[in-house]
Each structure stands twice: as structure tokens, then as C-alpha cells.
Structure 1
Amino acid sequence: MATFRLILLFVSAIIVTLACGGDDLVLPSEGEPASIEIVRGNEQFGRVGEPLAEPLVARVLDSGERPVVDVPVALALGDDRLAESVPDTASTDVDGMAGFRIVLGSQIGTLSGQARVVIAGGERILEVPVRFTAVSAEAAGLTLVAGDGQSAPVGSPLPEPLVVQVADVFGNPIAGVPIAWTAEGGGSTSASVVETDADGRSSVERVLGVTAGAQFTRASADSLAGSPVTFQHTATAGAAAGLSLVSGDGQSAVVGTPVPDLLVVRLLDAQGNPVVGVPVAWVVGAGSGTVAPQTTSTDGAGLASTQWTLGPAPGANTLTAVVSGIGVVPFGATALPGTPPGMRLLTQPAESGRRGVVLGRQPVVQLLNPGGIELRQAGVPVTVTAASGGGRVRGTLTRTTDGEGRATFTDLALEGPPGGYTLAFSAAGFTGVLSGPISLARATTATTIESDTPDPSAPGASVRVVFSVRSDGGQVPGDVLVRAADGASCQATVSSGACSLAPTRTGAQQLTASYQGTAEFEPSSAVEDHLVEAPLTPVLAFLTAPSSSAVSGVPFETQPVVQLRDGAGADLATAGVQVTVAVVSGGGSLIGATSRATDAAGRATFEGLGIQGATRDHTIRFTAQGFTPVTSGAIQVSAVPTATSIVSDAPDPSAPGQGVDVRFSVTAAAGAPAGDVTVSAGPGESCTAS
């Protein structure tokens, strides 16, 4: 039988010369998979939501340690929320290798899986373990965790630390982020910069300044959403330290009549801040006069006052203002001789009322001459004070008598805790008069949730709840507790009017704002519907889809353009987002650039992209960090057209049985053709080379 020598000429100009004979031609059979190993990409670390730096590459070998071609390798990673493999199944190439691009999910931690080859319909399975570790992504946001809305005396530490948290876009905590802490309005923080811990939290202790009122603390970090976070505190006055005289000393009046001006003292703490709500006792000394009221509490300016009516005998009268354990302030006055006129209540005030609400029946005072006959004298100022019960009178406290000698009050109200009260009416030069008893009840309140922003909110996101507590009985003191149905809560003073909480349970739930009430104000509450929903993940979408058919190794006729869109489907004009493409089904590999950055319109435009691989349907997937991927439709890949020609056959002519060297070439539109070429000279006279 004749022997042929064949020369294979590639377009790349590499020439391979082979000799083969018809009787000794032996074609090696394909090896069967015997083992699988990971050659690179295992045990990597990466950030959540991002692809790993290296692809995972598995290699399949036969029993002779030779690569096995076109074997499907499946990568099983378990929970799709932890990681995604692109593709999930890949076929081995000429080196027996199959590659996978791993995109980590939104949760931190270690992920284990297997690269797997199934043999003979499932009778035998080859496996090799893989493992990756997902760490937090870049820091994205700063949120308030705890410590807002506290109060403490001036110069003292707040009861609870101030806490903020840094997290990535998926809510995973970020450690090691420096947080700057700044005290505003006085005082200090325990540190000026505190790095976040393993839970992403940074905290400080706050000492308030020496001035009573609102003070603030700001936590800030460069480039983080939500920065700075502002905490509001209330510095209350410290312990009372000193009582001083303001006015009213050294006055004179006719015996049995009130002095012209009120007696006034002021109570301050050691830093000079007014001390509120401390009782001052007014103790009559020489002269046997009277005071109304006998005890008053300091107001917001630290002031307390009373009306002093001198005794029945001419001469010196004395009185002392006392704050137990703090100090005393003495007053003196002179009672002048004379017979004073008097007054009586023509109309008594209502027997009952609510704190701060105008009494239902208002008093009318009639002047009397010294003999008890009605005195028709106009222009006499008549003043009212609280004589007993320890409360305060609000309204127009001084009325002038009309031509009938009558002073008519119209808007009087009492403030104080529930209990019994009397009113004292006085006028310079006249003997005063007391009202009958008045029973006072607590003021009603109405709590309202004005807003909850944002609504809807994402799980764990800070929601600012604005509330109000109103009452006909005056400005409402105290705290409001806001609680979500899932247990998240915050608390703040009524005056601050807002606090922030972070509901985590998705779905509709109610927010409840509860005013706790005080000794003078009744409690009340309000509810508001709130929705917590998982944020819509932004997506990738095709502005231009790739061609539905292609030639292996040749760029697509229609190149893909990928658009960034938000969860609602609106285009996102975000530049610089890396969009990466990989084969997800059908095997093979991509040609051209597989990663493109979006332009100012949020578009990634690919060029020269194509598939090199088996002639079957393929799909490709486009991914970007933080975006839902988009996958192409089926792309039918056909074989590359080839052209075969015999370049020479030497010697020609040849003798019977003489070897002939045949030189041929195989060319293609793309790539270097692979496979076998058979040269035949008739029945049984052939040679095959690959």
C-alpha cells in the first residue's frame, strides 16, 4: 500500500509535517475523566456584591493525567444570596480547564461549595471542594443607633453613650472607619475620633456644658451618606446653690392692706443657671401680716413671688423667703396708721376646673368703704394671686375697677397639680378678700404623629418621627416614647418634637407615639401606619441586545449596549460603573473586551465582542456590582467557514508504492482551524493528520 507524507499549513504560517500509512494509522481514543482539581482561584477573599479578583479554574484529567476536552463541569455554591457563578456550568477546553467568574452576594462570611463532574449518567461523580470568604464592601452610610434625646444636669455626663454605625450598601457593618465627634453648645466628648468596631459602631461618652438648655453632638465621617449625624441633648440646671433678692423690700402701706409691689426672689445653681420648680416658703415675722400664696415654685427664670398684706397695727413688718437647705432672703415693710377700705367677691370663681384651662365662671370683685358699703370708685387696680394649693394663676391678673367700683376678671386659669386652691384678691390701700375653694384636675392632652420620614423605609434605615403634644392647659412638658410594631423605639422630649428609630421587619406596621403624662397633664397617644420594604435593587437592561446569531470567533454584527436603571425602571445616569460579561450557557469563551465602564448616560457600550466555541445556542450575562444582572437571549453560534487547498504533491508523477508528500492549507475567517484533514488517492489509499 502506498505511503503518503502530509504537510499541514496553517494561516499562522506554522507548518507541521506528518507521515502516515494506510496499514499503520492509529487514532488515539478520548480519555475518560478520572480526576478533577482546582488549579487557581480557590480560597479567595472579596467584597460583598463584587466579583472575585481571579476566576476559579478547574481542570479535568484522565487516568493518564492527560486533559479531557469538552467535559461539563458544574459549580455548586448553595445559597444564591451568598454568591453566584457565571456560568454555573462550563465545558473544559483543550487543556482540560473550565473557568468560572464568582460574584459574591450581599452577606459577609465564608462560602463553601463543590466543582463537580458527573460521569456516565450519574453513576460516578468527581468533586473537589471550593471556598471563598466575603468581607464587607466599601463604607456607604452613617446612621444613629442610640443616645439621642437624653437630658442631664449641667456639667454632668449623659446616662447613656452616643452610638453611630457605619455599614455598606447591603447593611453589613464596616470596622476601622474613623468617626469624628464634636460637642456643640458646651461640654465635651470622651474622644474626638473613635474608629468603628467589628459591629461597625463608634461610641463616646458625653459630658454636658455648664449652660442650661439645648446642646448638640455631631458624629461625622467624610463621604458617607447620612453624615453628619446630630444628637440633641437637654442640659437641666444643677442643684440649687443660692437664693437672692430681686425686688419688693422696704415698702410701706396702710395697716391691713397689701404693699404696692410683689416680693420677688431668684434661685440659681452654682453656674448661674436658673433653677426651675423649687418651692419657696414665705414666712411672716413681725407685724402679723399675711402672704398669698404662702408657697410658690420658681419659674423658668428661677423667679418666685408673692403678695404681702401688712398686719393690723402700725409699725414694722418682717417676712422671710426660705428655700430649705439653700438660703433665706429677709424683707421689711412699714404699716402706716389708718382705717382701710375693703372688698368682697360679688361673683365667686368656678368651684372646679382643669389645669391651665380658663375657669368656667370668672370672679367679680366689689370695692367697699370702711363701713362695708359698696364703694363706687373707678380706676383702682385689683390683683389676683394663688392663696393656697401651691399653684400659679394665669391670665390677666390685674383688672381696674369700673364706675361701680367693680373689677371683672375674664380669663383666669390655674396651673398646678390636682388638688384644692383658693384665690386672693388685693388692691393698694384696701383690705383683701379670699375666694372659696377650687378643685383642680389634670389637663387633657392630644398626641399627634406629624410625619415619619422616609415612608416607606428600608429595613434598618433611620426613620425620623416628628410628633406634637398639645393641650388647652398650656405647654406640655415631659417625654414621648415612639415604638414600632417590631420593637424598634426612640424617646425624646415634647419640646424637641422628634426622634429617630430604625424598624427592621418588612411590611406594614404601626408606629405608636405615647406621651407618658405628668402630675399636671394626662397621658395620650397616637398611631401612624408605616411601611418597611426592601429597597428595589437597581438593574442592568439592554439598550441594544447582542446579535441572535454569530460565527464562532467573529465579533457580533450587533454589539451590545447595557443601560443602568433603578429598581423602578428609570435610567440611571451614573458614570464609571464597571459592567462585565461572561458566557453562562453553551460553553466556549468570549473574544473582545469583556468589561466596560458606563459613560455619563449610564451606558456601557461593548466593541469587538463575540463567542468562540461549539456550534450551539449560547447565552451571555452582564453583571455589575450592586445591580441585578441581565442575560441575553439565545445566540446561535455557527462554525467558521473554511477553505482547504492542496498546495503541492511531490513527486508528481510518482512510482507505484512511492511515498508522496502532500502539502495543503486550511484557512478560516477567524482563528486557526483545528481538527483532522484526510488525503485520499482512491479506495484504501489515504492518510489522516490532525
Structure 2
Amino acid sequence: MSRYPLVRRGAALVLSVVAIMSCGGGKDGPAAPKNGPPAALQIVSGDAQHAVVGTELPQPLVVKVVDASGQPVPGQVVNFVVTSGGGHVFAGSGASNADGIVQERWTLGTSTALEQKIEARAVNNTTGAPIVFGSFTATALPGAAHDVVVSSGDGQSAAVGTAATDSLVAKVRDQYGNAVPGVAVTWAATAGGGSVSPASATSGATGLAKTRLTVGPRPGANAVTATAAGLASIVFNATAITGPAASLVVVSGDAQSATVGRVLAQPLTVRALDAYGNPVGGVSVTWAASAGGGAPVTTTTSAEGLASTQWTLGTHPGSATASASAAGVGEVSFTATAITGPVASLEVVSGAGQSARVNTTAADSLVVRAVDEYRNPVAGVAVHWAATTSGTGVAPSDVTTGDDGLARAQLTLRPASGTNTVIAAASGVPPVSFDATGTPGDATTIEVYGVSSTTAVVGTRITFSAQVFDAFGNRVGGTVVRWVVTAGGGSFEESQTTSGSDGLVTAAWILGTHPGAQTATASLASGSSVTFAVNTIPGPVQSLEKVSGDGQSAQVPATLPDSLVVRARDQYGNVVPGATVSWNGGSRGSISPVSATTDANGLASAQWKLSQPGLDSATASGGGRVVFTAIGTPATGPTLTIVSGDGQTRIAGDWTSPDLVVRLADGSGQPIAGAPLTWTMSTDVSSLSKSFYTDALGQGSAHFQVPWTSGLLSVAVQSGTTGPATFSVNVLPGPWCSTNVTLDGPSTAAPGGTVTVLLHATDLAGNPAPNASVGDRLTVSDGGSVTWRDSIPGLRVGTWTLGSTIGTQTLVYQQTFCGGRLPSQGFPRTGSGLEQTISVNVVAP
């Protein structure tokens, strides 16, 4: 506070009157007063005004400087200083006029939150003491609305369809950021399907306007805009999250059927939904079943709201139910039908142990029941009745079980006395026996239906068909045909089958395990028979066996004197020609070729070169694996070693790459230059370029065109008595480029029957070439088709399934021929060749 109190105008007038009255005067009246030092300041006008922030007050600040007697003090400098609010004055100071008046203009600061204040100050001209005469205050009002900003409530989350916890609050500000009241703000939900309330609000004294958001019914982003007239809108964001589970619904797995005791093909699946149908994750679902059970019993829904279990049906056929429930949510049901399982066994019901006159029908039927693994009766099971004693009859021979699982047959005793035995059999289960009699056959002849000969792999399954006729050429149904292997081994899956109503009968033959010709017969009880023949070939390689070359030793570096030889055998021990054998030369040497093809005796060989002393091993693999060992002994004199080019594989007719290079060195490893070299080829080659003497590095080389015949080429190099060093070059057939087809077997067949065709493929040099393809060069008539399988290199076997048309059916093949370019230029096939036509006469059975 100033030592000079602020004197309001009224008080100053009183003081002035008192001062005048107390003054003495002469006879001519009072003397003119004399001004004293400034004692007070009177605010004349301009205090307590109001204006918009950052603007000048409408009225000036007006003060009057008076002395102690209230008389105006002219010439007094008064300073106006802004002490609060951040505004500014126009001049800053002024001297009082003759009336003691000083004026100033005040521009307010930019904040409505700060007090707006100015002090009027002066310095005592006599003492120099500071004088604060007094102060002015003003009220700063906000300016016009300049923008709308987010105050609070942004970024909330709420369950779908519910209100967010906090209000959305927007703040209206002037250009200086002061809150602006009284501005209408419009709210609108613009994304997510939510709603706001209220839709419009007016900013209060703090500039704030509020609304409440209810998020939409689907999980995801929600957005609300707040807009004031003439101002840019602002956006509040919120996230709608899934609500609590309100229901369970069946998704899949209902109304299935499966065999008793088995798991249903499709899992039972439910989805948990909130009140708005959104999937709810994390819900615990409990499963229960009326028969069988679910695994697991309790599951938790996924992020998609899904929960599943597997239902294993009970052991009795019929309807079953299962349920899925969640605490506080509800329960849904599933139904399923348990179906009788496949037949597991046959049980004798009645008819065993009967006796009756020969050549008559037994009084009681032979009855068996087909049951599944849980002893439920199985309907629809084909039961085959067969007599095992000559002359015994049973009819019908094939019966399908009814709903009660029963199958019946009538026994006709044979003309000869004695035990009659009948077997009831069903596929995949042990047969049961009855006292029964076989009936005499009425059929007299049997003929081949379809093909009678073919080619197949040993041990595989093939089928043949025949047709039964009586003495007059009629087809005879219900006739037992016996199938017997007569040469080559193997066995039939069923040694006897029964002809159908058309006289046709088919049997499956598991071929013997030795390659070559195999024969079998299908015969009638009357003695009529037909013969079937199969040319069997070895199967794929299952094992390799060492033949020779193991346990050798040689002075390194050197090629072992004896080749490593293995024999490829299939699963039955048959030798397999045309198989690929891979060789690995171990860590102390090299082997050539690294890949070889077995010959007609199943043999494959390789040359093993040791380069370091010590025990080493080499392996042969390809359907099996064998290990060879050898010992390399240290060299004592000059050595001839292979530098490069060994073990390479080239296509027939190509050039060697890289060159074959050897190095001659003395006992200390130093090169020997000018030594003679002798090159010996196991097969004549073309355009041989070779070194006759070693160079300064002790090296010599050879470069040549490999033979046109595939196989293993050996090149031996000798320098005087040193060596030889032996190279191996594996010559492979070129890509196939010449093909033709031939018919293998008879040229007559039944409609829908099969015949065998062979595709022969060779390379440019005439070597059998693998991997030949038919492409679009083959067409067959009458809806027939051909399927191919690989046999030996250069040969593919095709099964031609004929159409149903009677008469001549044809297979037309466009041959290919090799072009004239070298292997390095590719092996082109000509655009067209000769058309081959193979005809088969299709006759009615």
C-alpha cells in the first residue's frame, strides 16, 4: 500500500473546503492558495470497465493529483504500470495539467483467467520516494468463438449398445484459448451406429458443452462429431466392445449320424452371442450327452465366439441327444443317430446238427446272425454260404441280412451218405460252420471273359473274369467256380466264387513273388476249365546287397582294382533291373559314377578311388543301403593322381566337362614335368584331344566326345610304371525323342474289358530313355481310355480300357522321331511322325 492513500473525489472536495475555510486572509480577502506536494490521487473515471480480451477499454483512465489540502498539483509526472493481466498502456506516463488531471489508454491482456490491473505511480520530487497513488481494475471478456477442442471423454470403450462411462466434453475457445460461453454445439454420431444425447448443448461459463454417447450394436470403432456454427468440427472416438454372452446358438454338427461307438464326423459347434448377436469369446461351455460323451467336457469360446467338442456315440443304435450350456446364458441341443456298426462276427442261431435223407432238403433252415462289435444285429451284410463237402447243396449261396441281422439258407443233402458241411462267411469276419451238404453243379463249360493274359508286378493283385455255361451254351448262375494257381505261385483271395445271373464270375489273384510266367485255372465241378497267364516283372527295390569289392586296399592315390558291385532286390528278393543306385565315396576318396542303373541281373557297379591313406567307407543307396570299406596305404614312389574330371555324368554324345586332368609327382610331392602319358579308354571315343607328356606342373589332360551308348566309361592314365589313375564317366541316355506303341497280348476283348499296350522310348543314340510322356499324341475311340505306369527305362505299360461298343475299336498314336542336333543343342522331337493305329475287335460276351 502507498503511504499516500487513494482519495476519492468526494473526500477530496471536503478536504479542499476545509483547507479554504482554515486559511487566513487580509483585509482584502483570503490569499490565493499555494500548491503543496502531491498527497493523493483521485480516480476521476475509467475504473471497473470491461472489454473483450486484447482490446482497448472504451474509456480512458483519468486521475487527478492533489496536495494535502486537496488542491490540484500541476506538473506531476504519473506513470501507469500494468501489474497483472498482461495488457499494455498507450503512453505509460504523463504530467498533470493545471487541474491536476492525467489521462491514459489501457488495452487489456488476452486471458480472461487473469486479473486485469494497472497502478498509477510517481516519484516524490523532493525526497525521491516512490509513490503508488492507486490502481485501476477491469474485467476481460472472452472474444468471439474461434475453435472447438476436445476437453475430455475421447478414447473410451463401452459394451455394444451401452452408454460410455464419461460424457463427451467439448470446449469452445476464443482466439486466445479463453472459454467462450453461450455457444450452441451440435453433436452427431458419425461412425459405429451409436447415438448421442443430447444432440445439442450450449457452452457454459467455462466454455464446456457435454453429451453422452451410447455405442452401436456391433464391436468396433465409433465416432462422434461436435460442431459449432462457423467453426471446424472435432471428432471424439470410442470403441464398442462385445457385451456379455446372452445366448448360445448351434453352428454345426446337429442331426449327424455315425456308427455306434464312433466319433461323429463333424464336431458339435456352438457360438456365444451377446444381446446384439455379436460373437463373445472366453465363455465357458459345458457339454453333456445322453449316450456316449463329448471330449472335452468343457471348452471356452474363441474370439469368434465358437466352442466345439467331439461326440462319441453310445454302443446302441438309435437317436441320441447332446447339449451345450453356459452359466447364466442358456442351453442348446444337438441330435444324432447311432447306426449299427460294420459286421464284426457271425453267430450260429439254429440249424446245426440236423440229419435228413440224402438228396433232400433239411427240415430246418441254416440261420446265422451278423453282429457288430457291440453285438447289435447288422442288416445288409452279404453272407456267402458254401459247401465244403462234395455233393452238398446250400441255397441261396449269397444272402443279405435283414433288420434282425439274420441270414438263412436251405441245405440239400448230397446223394452220398456222410457228413455234409456248409460254411457261412461274410467279408472280413471268420466263417461259421454247419452240418450241410453241397449240391451237384449243373454247369458244363466255362469260358474266358475279357483278357486271359497280361503283365504285372510280382506280388500284386489282379482280377480275371470267366463266364459259365450249361451243355447248351446258356449262362448258368449260382455256379461255384474254383480258382487254382497252376504255375508261378501266388494265391486267390477266394478259392471259389459263384457265378451271377449272367454267368459271370470274377476272382482276385495275388501273384507269386517270382518273376516270369504264372498261370491259373478257373474250373467247374464238371471239369471244364480255362487258363489265365501273367508275365510277372520285379517290384521296386527294397534292398541292396554287396556282391563284390568290399575290404580292398591300395596304395594311394589309386583306384581300387575291383569295382564295387551291388545287386538290387525287390521285397521278395528278386533282382531288379533298371533301378538307380547312388554311390558316395566317403571322406578319403571319390567314386564314379555317383549314380548307376542296375543291369538285367540287378547289378550296379562303381570305381572307388582312394586319395588318402587310412580306413575309409563308401555307400551304395537306392531302396536300401550297403557300406563298403577299404584301406589306403601311403605311396612310396612317384604317384599319378587325378586333379579333375573324375566321376562326371554326361549325356550320350556330349563332350567331357571339365577336362580329365592328372598330376605326376615324386615321393616328396614335387611335380614331374616331361613324363610320358598313356591314355586308355574302355570304349572308343570320338575327337580325343590328350596330353602325351606332363607339363611344368606335372599335369596332363584329355578332352573328348563321350560315346553314344549309355553306361560307365573308364579312362586309365599311365606314366611308365606309375599308375594307372582311372577316371569314370557315367554316360546317361539322352532325353527321349523317339517313341512308338505296340499291343501286348490278344487283339480281341469284351466290351469294357482291358488290353495292354507298351510305349517304347529311345534317345538320339537309340538308348532306352526314361520319363517318356504321351502328351496329346494318343487318341482312343468309343469312349475308351488308357492309364500308364512306369516299367523299366525306355518302357511304359498302358492299360487300355475299352468302350462299350461292339466291333472294332482303335488307338491312334502319333510317333515322334529324334532330330539331328547334338545333346549340347538339345534333343528336339519332330513336329509330326507316322500315325500308328492299333485295333481291337470287341465282341459280345
Fold match, TM over 0.5? no
Scaled by the length of structure 1, the TM-score of the pair is 0.42
Scaled by the length of structure 2, the TM-score of the pair is 0.35
**Which structure has the larger Rg over C-alpha atoms?**
2
Relative contact order higher in (CA < 8 Å, ≥ 6 apart): 1
